[in-house]
Chains A and B, each alone.
Chain A
Amino acid sequence: MTERQLAFVFDLNKCLGCQTCTISCKTLWTDQPGMEYMWWNIVNTMPGRGTPRDRDQMGGGFDAEGRAQAGVLPSAKDFGEAWDFNYDEVFYEGKGQSAHLHPRSPSANGKDEAPEWGPNWDEDQGAGDYPNSYYFYLPTICMHCTDPACLAACPRQAISKREEDGIVLIDEDRCDGYRFCMEACPYKRIYFNPDRFISQKCVMCFARLEQGVAPACVRQCPGRVRHFGYLDDEESDIFKLVKTWKVAIPLHPEFGTQPNVYYVPPLAPPRFDENGEIDEENPRIPMDYLRSLFGPAVDQSLATLKLEMEKTRQGEKSELTDILIAYKWQNMFIPFVEDPGELSRPAPKS
C-alpha cells in the first residue's frame, strides 16, 4: 500500500456509452505519433469482447496465492488499428461515385482491406434473446492497482507507483519496450508505441491533478458517472461508495491486483416471461454473468442499491442515492475542483 491512493468510482447505471471520456483522453494525451490506435480510456458494450478483443481471456494478474499469471500480448488488430480512409480518392481524384469513403486496415500494406475489428466494434450488439436482450456499457482505464501486475512484471523497473497518491506510471526513459507489462496487466490497459518503442498507458492525468484539476475523463463525463478522490478521505464520495456503502466494487477482483477503479454494477429493467408478462423473479442480466465480471460482491451491492432506490420511491431520503445523483457536480471529485479555463499555463517557447 502506498501512503495514499486515488481511486475512481464509475456508476454504470448512469453510463451512456458515449465515449466522451474516451475522446477527452485521446485529444489530451494519445494524439501523438505512434499513439493513433491507443485509447487509454475505452467504453465497451458488455457482454462483448472488450478492448483488446477477448481481453478477459488474455490472462495476467495474480492467482489467489499471489503468483503471477502468464498473459497474452495483444496485437494492434486486437486493440483495433488506426484505420486509413481514402478521402482524397473520393473527393478529388475524379473517380465520381465509383469510389466511396471507407476505412482500410493500415497493416494491409496499401491493399484495400476492410478492417474486421476496432476498439468499439461490437457496440450495442449485446446478448440474450429479444425482448429479453441485455447489455450495458463498461468504461475501463488503467486501474492504478494497489498491487500492479505491470510493475511487478517489468524487468527494467520502469514502472513505479507513486507514494503520495498511488498513481502507476511508466518511466518512458527507462522503458525498453519489452512489453512484459502488457502481458501481465490483466485488464489489458497498456499499449505499445511502435514509433517510440515504449509502452504507454493512462497517467491518471497527473499533470492536471498537480494543478488541482480532475482527470479529463472524469471532468468531461457528461453522464456524471465518474467519482474521483482519495480512498482514505472519509468525506469523499469514493470512501462512502466503496467503504461505507460497499456498492462500488472492483472489476474482476480475482485478477488479484487490487484495482482502484470501482464500479456501481448495472441494474436492468425486468425481463418478460413466455406470456409477455413481467417476470420479477429472474433478472434480465443473468447474475452469473455479473458475478463473472464483478465477483460475488455484486449480489450485495445490487441489493443495497435496490433497497435504497426503493426508499426514495417511498419518499424517504437516502444518502447513497444522493451521492449518486451528484447534486453538485464538482463534489464528485473533491479536492480536484479547479477550473482549467482559469489557469495560466503558457506553452514553453519552442
Chain B
Amino acid sequence: MARKKASAKKGNRTADSYRDRWRWDSVTWGSHCVDCYPSNCPHRVFVRDGKIVREEQSGTFPVIEKGVPDMNPAGCQKGAMWSQMHDSEDRIIYPMKRVGERGSGEWERVSWDDALTDIADKIIDAIQEYGSESLVRIGEPAEGGTQVLVCASMLINMIGGITTDVQAEINDFSPGLYTTFGKFDPAASVDDWFHTELVLIWHCNPIYTNIPWYHYVAEARYNGGEVMLFAPDYSPSALHTDLFASVRPGTDAALALGMCQVLVEEGLYHDDFVKDQTDLSLLVRTDNQHFLRASDVDGGRDDQFYWYDTVTKSVVEAPRGTLALGDVDPALAGEFEATLADGSKVTVTPVFALLREMLNRDYTPEKASEICGVHPDVMRRVARTAARKRTRLLMGWNSGKYYHGDLMERTMALFLGLTGNWGRKGTGARSWAVGWYEGLFAPLAKEKPGRQAARDMKNMMDQLLAAAKEADPTMTDEIAVVEGEYEAARMGGMVPAVFFWYYHCGFRERWNKPEWNDPSMKRTFDEYVEEGIERGWWEGFRTPDEKTPPQVIFEIGSNVLRRTRGGQDILLENLWPDLKLILTIDWRVSTTGLMSDYILPAAHHYEKLNFCYQTPHVMNLTFSDRAVDPPGEAKSEWQIVLALAKKLGERGKARNFVEYQHRGMPIRLDTLYDALSKNGAYDDDERLVDEMVKDSATFGVIPKGTNLKTMREKGFVRFTDWGLSSMTLAQASDLKPDEAHAPFRRHTEKKEPFPTLTRRAQFYIDHDWFLEAGEELPVHKETPKQGGNYPLVLTSGHPRHSIHSMNMTNKVILATHRGHPSMFISPEDAKARGIKNNETVRMHNDVSSVEIDTKVSTLVRPGQVIVYNGWEPYQFEQWKGTENVEPGMVKWLHLAGGYGHLQYRSIHWQPVPIDRAIHVDVEKIKSKRKAKAGAKRVAAKRK
C-alpha cells in the first residue's frame, strides 16, 4: 500500500523549505532570569537576520552523582516561548507618560530626557517634603532578573528610600519551618529527590510549578520510591502517585498530628534523632509552661536550657554549641524536680511528654480523621512508611499562605523529626533558597573596581565572622551570619511590609476584624501592634510610619496591583490617591504599569546580560546573554538606573539640593552617578557583569578564573562553595562536586546547632504570645472565616501557564489554555447553583465581588473553588481580579519578637499575608454583561 519514496532527498522543494527554516546566524546562551524558581534552565537562543527566532534547552548538564539521572533538558513551555514575548503586543519599547487619569489608557510617548527630568524632580520633591523614606520601592521577585535586583536596590538604598520586604510582598515564607528551624529554606538539589523513598507532596503542585525538575519525582518512583499526595483537590500532581489522600482545606495540621500520634504510640519514632536534633528532650516547667532556663536556675543566661539525664538522674544543661548528647541520655518522659535560684522547687517535664499527652488527648487518628477527613488507616499507612523510609516533604509556598500555615508547617516538621527525616540524602522538607552569588553585590559594595578591592572585602568579612565566633564560641558560621543579619536589618533598606500596609494601604481595619481572625487572638490587632512597638521588637522597621505618607512608588520588574492579597482596590483606594509619582520599569504592559504615571521600557531577557537566581536546587550560576540589542528605546535596567542617578544629580544641582540626611548619614545627589558606576568604571553592562563574575571567583564560590568570557562559553558553572549568604549556610551541608545536595547534614552528622533560641529544631515556643494563643506546641486550629460566612473556600496556586503574570498575556501561551481567567469548580457545586462550564459567574463575599468564567472539573473537592493566580487584573471585567475577594489578613502572632529567632531580618520572620481558604460564594449572573464594542485595532501610540 505504502508509496515508498524518498521525497525528502535533496532537490525536493518542500523538504528544502523545511531545512531552510531551521537555520540561524548566531547562537547565544539564554535563560529566564525571573523568579520562576528554581529556574536556572540553560537555553540556546537562535538569532537569524538580526531577530531572535527561537530558543531551545541546551541539555548540557553533566551527570553529577553516579547512579542519579542527569538534570537535562531543564525547561518548560514558558521557557520555550520566551522569544515569542519579544515583539508581543504587550511589549513596551518607548518611554510612556500618562496624559489622562491614572488607568485611563491615555498615553503619550515622551523622550527619555523629559521622563527622567520629571521623575527626578518628583523624587526630590518627596525627599524635601517628607524625607527619603517616603520613597518606596515595592519589594519584588525581580522579574527582570538579578540585574534588576542589583540596580534597583542599589539606587533606592543610596538615596535613602526603603524597599518593602519581598518575601512579605509575595507572601512566600514558611513561618512554621522558620519557627522550627530558625530558617525556612532547606533546599536539596533537585537530583537528591531521586534518593527519596517516600516523596510526600504536600502543599505543592510540582506538575504545574516544577516542570523542569518534576521528572525526579517520577524517576524516584521508578527507582523503588513511593509517591503520595496530600491535598484538598485531586491536583495534577496526584496523577503519578501511589496514594492520594484528600484533606479538608486548612486541616493539614490535624492530619500531621494524627500521623505523629501513630509514630509516638506505636513507638516508631526515632529516639536518638528526637533526643539530639530537637527540643523535645528539653525541660519545661509545669508551673508556668516556660522552658527551664539558666536564668531560673542560677541567674544565668536566658537562652540556656536543660535536659533530665536518665544516666545521672539529674537536671543538666543542654549544650548550646552542639547537638551531641555526650554522655547524657535525656529523658523523653516523666516529671522531675528542678531547684531554682531562690531555692524553691518546680516540677519539670520534657516537651516530648507534653506532646505525647496532647497527641493522645486530641489527635488519635480517629479524632484527627474527623477533622481532616483522611481515613485513619491512611494515616497509619503513611506514618509507618515514613518511619521506615527516607522521606521528603515536597512542599511549596502553599502552607504559609493559610492563616494557620505556621501550625501546619510546625506539625509537618514534627512528622519529619519523629521519623528522623532530615540531614540524610533523600530526606527533609523542600523549600526555597536563593543567595550565594557573592559577586552579585560585591562590585557595587566594595571600595573600588578590581581584584584587590574584592580580596579586601572578603578579608574584612572573614575577620568579622571570626570575631563573632570568638566572642561566642558556640556559634557556627551560619549562626554568626544570621546574628549579623539581625543587626544589619535595623539599618533600613529592606523593611517588613506590614507597617506600610497597616498605616498606608488600608489593611488596618480588616486586620482588626475579630470574625476574620482566630478566636484565640485575645486582644485587638492594634493592641498587639502597640505592644510589639513598645517592647522594641520592630524598632527601625516601622517605616514609612504614620507620619510619613508615601510619595513615590517604584515598581521595577514586578506587578504589585496584580499580586497584592486584598486586591487592587484596597491599594487604589488607600495608597494611590496621595502618591505623587508611580514609576513602573518593565518590558511589558502590566496592570501596575497601566495604573502608573510613567512606564519606562526595559530590555527583555534576551536583550541584556543577566543571571538566574542562585539556588541549591540547581547549584549553578546560570548566565543569560544579550542575543540582540533592545528594540526601540528600551534599555537594560542598569542603564536606566544609571541615567536616573545622573539626572538626580543634575536636578539636585539645578535646584540647589545636593545633600540631605538619612538616619544620621549624609546622602549626596551630585555624586550619585559616580558612586553607583564607580566613577564610570561600570558604565556598560558588560563591565559590570564581568566584575560580578570575577568577584564571585575571588570570593571562592565559583572556580578561579571564571569571568564573563568563560561564562559565554559554557553558559553555566557549578558552585564550588557556599560563600557567606545566610540562605546557603542554612543548607548546613558540605558542598561536594560529585554528590547531590541534601540539607542539614551538618546538624545530623556533625551535630552543629540550629539557629533557633534553643539551638535545636524547636517545636515548643514559650513566647508569652504563643502561650496566650495556646500555640506553644503545634496544634490544629480551624481557619477563620476570612471574607465572611460563605459556603465555599477559595484556594489558589501558581498556574501552569505563566510565571506570575509574565507570560499570561502572550498570544502563544494563551492559546494553550482557555485564554481567559478561569475558576475551577466541582460539578456538584456548579450544578447546585445552576452554573455551566465556561459560564461567567460572580464570586463574592463581604470583601468584594468579581466576575470570572467557570471551569467545571472533577479534580475539585466539593466545597472548594480554585483560581490559579497570575492573571492580570486587566484580563477581568472592570480589571477586578480575584485577589479582590481576599481580605489579605496576616496572623497577629507573627508580630511577636524579642525571642531568639523570632525577630526580623530581611526576608525572614514577619507577618505575611494570607490568601488560602477564603470564604466566598459563587452565583449566576442574571443579565450577562458582555463587552459590546467590536474593538477595532487602532494603531497605537506605542508605534
Interface positions of A from 1 to 55, Cβ below 8 Å from B: 1-2, 13-14, 16-20, 22-24, 26-29
Is there an interface contact between B859 and A16, defined as CB atoms closer than 8 Å?
A: no
A307 at the interface (CB under 8 A from B): no
Q: Across the two chains, which residue of chain A brings its CB closest to B373?
A: A276
Is there an interface contact between A16 and B236, defined as CB atoms closer than 8 Å?
A: yes
Interface positions of A from 255 to 277, Cβ below 8 Å from B: 266-270, 272, 275-277
Interface-forming stretch among B280-288, B331-339, B869-877?
B869-877
B460 at the interface (CB under 8 A from A): no
Say how far B197's CB is from chain A's closest CB, in angstroms: 9
Bound complex: CA of A133 vs CA of B861, how far in Å? 10
What is the predominant secondary structure among interface residues of chain B facing chain A? Answer: loop
A163 and B70 in contact, given A88-B89, A126-B857 (Cβ under 8 angstroms): no
Interface-forming stretch among B150-158, B743-751, B812-820?
B812-820
Is there an interface contact between A92 and B942, defined as CB atoms closer than 8 Å?
A: yes
Which residues of chain A are within 8 angstroms of B215 by Cβ–Cβ distance?
14, 222-224
Interface-forming stretch among B56-64, B255-263, B552-560?
B56-64
Which residues of chain B are within 8 angstroms of A161 by Cβ–Cβ distance?
2-5
Say how far B100's CB is from chain A's closest CB, in angstroms: 6
Which residues of chain B are within 8 angstroms of A90 by Cβ–Cβ distance?
105, 874
Say how far A140's CB is from chain B's closest CB, in angstroms: 15
Is there an interface contact between B207 and A16, defined as CB atoms closer than 8 Å?
A: yes
Interface positions of B from 356 to 395, Cβ below 8 Å from A: 373-375, 377-378, 381
Is there an interface contact between B816 and A88, defined as CB atoms closer than 8 Å?
A: no
Which residues of chain A are within 8 angstroms of B834 by Cβ–Cβ distance?
none
Say how far A342's CB is from chain B's closest CB, in angstroms: 9
Which residues of chain A are within 8 angstroms of B60 by Cβ–Cβ distance?
339, 341
Which residues of chain B are within 8 angstroms of A13 by Cβ–Cβ distance?
218, 221, 240
Is there an interface contact between A127 and B18, defined as CB atoms closer than 8 Å?
A: no
Bound complex: CA of A96 vs CA of B12, how far in Å? 53
Is there an interface contact between A86 and B246, defined as CB atoms closer than 8 Å?
A: no
Which residues of chain B are within 8 angstroms of A20 by Cβ–Cβ distance?
75-77, 79-80, 211
A83 and B819 in contact, given A91-B105, A135-B239, A220-B80 (Cβ under 8 angstroms): yes
Say how far A180's CB is from chain B's closest CB, in angstroms: 14
Which residues of chain B are within 8 angstroms of A94 by Cβ–Cβ distance?
100, 104-106
Which residues of chain B are within 8 angstroms of A220 by Cβ–Cβ distance?
56-57, 73, 75, 80
Bound complex: CA of A236 vs CA of B38, how far in Å? 33
Is there an interface contact between A112 and B932, defined as CB atoms closer than 8 Å?
A: yes
B54 at the interface (CB under 8 A from A): yes
B914 at the interface (CB under 8 A from A): no
Is there an interface contact between A328 and B56, defined as CB atoms closer than 8 Å?
A: no
Bound complex: CA of A119 vs CA of B812, how far in Å? 12
Is there an interface contact between A14 and B2, defined as CB atoms closer than 8 Å?
A: no
Is there an interface contact between B73 and A219, defined as CB atoms closer than 8 Å?
A: yes
B456 at the interface (CB under 8 A from A): no
Is there an interface contact between B76 and A325, defined as CB atoms closer than 8 Å?
A: no
The residue that A100 contacts in the complex, of B207, B211, B931, with Cβ under 8 A, is: B931
Say how far A197's CB is from chain B's closest CB, in angstroms: 14
A78 at the interface (CB under 8 A from B): no
**Interface 1/0s, chain B 909-943, versus A by CB < 8 A?**
00000000000000000000011111111111110
Bound complex: CA of A125 vs CA of B826, how far in Å? 9
A347 and B234 in contact, given A88-B89, A100-B876 (Cβ under 8 angstroms): no
Is there an interface contact between B861 and A130, defined as CB atoms closer than 8 Å?
A: yes
The residue that B811 contacts in the complex, of A29, A85, A112, A164, with Cβ under 8 A, is: A85
A321 at the interface (CB under 8 A from B): yes
B526 at the interface (CB under 8 A from A): no
Say how far A263's CB is from chain B's closest CB, in angstroms: 14
Which residues of chain A are within 8 angstroms of B373 by Cβ–Cβ distance?
276
Bound complex: CA of A24 vs CA of B77, how far in Å? 8
Which residues of chain B are within 8 angstroms of A195 by Cβ–Cβ distance?
none
Is there an interface contact between B935 and A89, defined as CB atoms closer than 8 Å?
A: yes
Bound complex: CA of A112 vs CA of B12, how far in Å? 43
Is there an interface contact between B89 and A97, defined as CB atoms closer than 8 Å?
A: no
Bound complex: CA of A208 vs CA of B236, how far in Å? 33
A18 and B800 in contact, given A112-B935, A222-B57 (Cβ under 8 angstroms): yes
Interface positions of A from 308 to 341, Cβ below 8 Å from B: 309, 312-315, 321-322, 324-330, 339-341
Interface positions of B from 37 to 82, Cβ below 8 Å from A: 44, 48-49, 53-60, 63, 67-70, 72-77, 79-81
Is there an interface contact between A96 and B101, defined as CB atoms closer than 8 Å?
A: yes
Say how far B576's CB is from chain A's closest CB, in angstroms: 13
A162 and B75 in contact, given A90-B874, A125-B856 (Cβ under 8 angstroms): no
Is there an interface contact between B81 and A27, defined as CB atoms closer than 8 Å?
A: yes
Q: Across the two chains, which residue of chain B brings its CB closest to A271?
A: B244
A329 and B13 in contact, given A93-B938, A151-B2 (Cβ under 8 angstroms): no
A241 at the interface (CB under 8 A from B): no
A248 at the interface (CB under 8 A from B): no
**Interface 1/0s, chain B 852-896, versus A by CB < 8 A?**
000111111110000000001011111100000000000000000
Which residues of chain B are within 8 angstroms of A347 by Cβ–Cβ distance?
20, 23-25, 48-49
Q: Across the two chains, which residue of chain A brings its CB closest to B221?
A: A309
The residue that A102 contacts in the complex, of B15, B48, B49, B819, with Cβ under 8 A, is: B819
Which residues of chain B are within 8 angstroms of A24 by Cβ–Cβ distance?
56, 80
Which residues of chain A are within 8 angstroms of B934 by Cβ–Cβ distance?
110-112
Interface positions of B from 192 to 238, Cβ below 8 Å from A: 207, 211-212, 214-215, 218-219, 221-226, 228-229, 234, 236, 238
Interface positions of B from 749 to 806, Cβ below 8 Å from A: 800
Is there an interface contact between A277 and B375, defined as CB atoms closer than 8 Å?
A: yes
Is there an interface contact between B8 and A269, defined as CB atoms closer than 8 Å?
A: no
A169 and B594 in contact, given A27-B54, A88-B940, A103-B819 (Cβ under 8 angstroms): no
Is there an interface contact between B90 and A87, defined as CB atoms closer than 8 Å?
A: yes
A184 at the interface (CB under 8 A from B): no
B6 at the interface (CB under 8 A from A): yes
Q: Across the two chains, which residue of chain B brings its CB closest to A97?
A: B879
The residue that B857 contacts in the complex, of A26, A124, A148, A162, with Cβ under 8 A, is: A124
Which residues of chain B are within 8 angstroms of A115 by Cβ–Cβ distance?
819
A82 at the interface (CB under 8 A from B): yes
Bound complex: CA of A345 vs CA of B70, how far in Å? 28
Interface-forming stretch among A69-77, A152-160, A185-193, A288-296?
A152-160
A23 and B80 in contact, given A99-B931, A118-B818 (Cβ under 8 angstroms): yes
A133 and B859 in contact, given A169-B7, A219-B73 (Cβ under 8 angstroms): yes
Q: Across the two chains, which residue of chain A brings its CB closest to B2?
A: A161
Which residues of chain B are within 8 angstroms of A345 by Cβ–Cβ distance?
22-24
Say how far B250's CB is from chain A's closest CB, in angstroms: 17
A57 at the interface (CB under 8 A from B): no
Is there an interface contact between A23 and B74, defined as CB atoms closer than 8 Å?
A: no
Which residues of chain B are within 8 angstroms of A268 by Cβ–Cβ distance?
239
Is there an interface contact between B76 and A163, defined as CB atoms closer than 8 Å?
A: no
Which residues of chain B are within 8 angstroms of A83 by Cβ–Cβ distance?
811, 814-815, 819
Bound complex: CA of A161 vs CA of B214, how far in Å? 36
Which residues of chain B are within 8 angstroms of A297 by Cβ–Cβ distance?
none
Is there an interface contact between B83 and A27, defined as CB atoms closer than 8 Å?
A: yes
A206 and B222 in contact, given A101-B872, A223-B215 (Cβ under 8 angstroms): no
B459 at the interface (CB under 8 A from A): no
Say how far B822's CB is from chain A's closest CB, in angstroms: 9
Bound complex: CA of A133 vs CA of B212, how far in Å? 26
Which residues of chain A are within 8 angstroms of B79 by Cβ–Cβ distance?
20
CB pairs A–B below 8 angstroms (21 shown): A27-B84, A88-B89, A92-B941, A118-B819, A124-B855, A130-B246, A134-B234, A136-B239, A152-B1, A206-B15, A224-B219, A269-B229, A269-B238, A276-B375, A314-B224, A327-B68, A327-B69, A329-B72, A341-B27, A347-B48, A348-B23
Given A101-B875, A268-B239, 10 more A-B residue pairs with CB atoms under 8 Å apart are A86-B937, A88-B938, A88-B939, A89-B933, A101-B872, A125-B855, A277-B375, A324-B219, A330-B59, A341-B44
Which residues of B are in contact with A by a Cβ distance under 8 Å? Answer: 1-8, 12-15, 17-25, 27, 44, 48-49, 53-60, 63, 67-70, 72-77, 79-81, 83-84, 89-90, 100-101, 103-107, 207, 211-212, 214-215, 218-219, 221-226, 228-229, 234, 236, 238-244, 246, 373-375, 377-378, 381, 589, 594, 800, 809, 811-820, 824, 826, 837-838, 855-862, 872, 874-879, 930-942
